[in-house]
Amino acid sequence: MKKTVLVTGANRGIGLATAELLGQHGYRVVLGVRALQAGEDIANRMCQKGFDVLALPIDLENKALLDQSLEELSRRNLPIDGLINNAGVLDEIPLLQLSQVQIDACIAAHLTGPLHLIQALAPSMIARGYGRIVNVSSNWGSFAEGMGGPGLYGVTKAALNALTVRLAKELPATVKVNAMCPGWVRTRMSNFQGTLSPEQAAENAFWLATLPEDGPTGGFFQNRRPLQW
Domain harbouring 147, CATH code: 3.40.50.720
Annotated catalytic residue: which of 27, 51, 140, 153? Answer: 153
Q: How many CB atoms lie within 10 A of CB 119?
A: 9
List C-alpha distances in Å: 19 to 40, 58, 89, 105, 123: 13, 15, 19, 24, 23
Spatial CA neighbour of 65 closest among 90, 101, 38, 33: 33
Q: What is the pLDDT of residue 192?
A: 66
Per-residue pLDDT of the chain (229 residues; tens, 9 = 90+): 899 999 999 999 999 999 999 999 999 999 999 999 999 999 999 999 999 999 999 999 999 999 999 999 999 999 999 999 999 999 889 999 999 999 999 999 999 999 999 999 999 999 999 999 999 999 999 999 988 888 899 999 999 999 999 999 999 999 999 999 997 776 666 566 767 888 999 999 999 999 999 999 999 999 999 999 9
Q: Is the pTM of this model over 0.85?
A: yes
Q: Give the CA distances from residue 160 to residues 43, 86, 167, in Å, rounded to whole numbers and listed in that order.
A: 28, 11, 10
The rounded distance, in Å, linking the Cα atoms of 29 and 21 is 10
pLDDT in the model for residue 71 = 95
State the total domains in the chain: 1
Domain extent, residue 58, equals 4-226
Q: Convert the pLDDT of each residue in 48-59 to its tens digit.
A: 999 999 999 999
The CA distance from 229 to 161, in Å, is 7
Known active-site residue 153 = yes
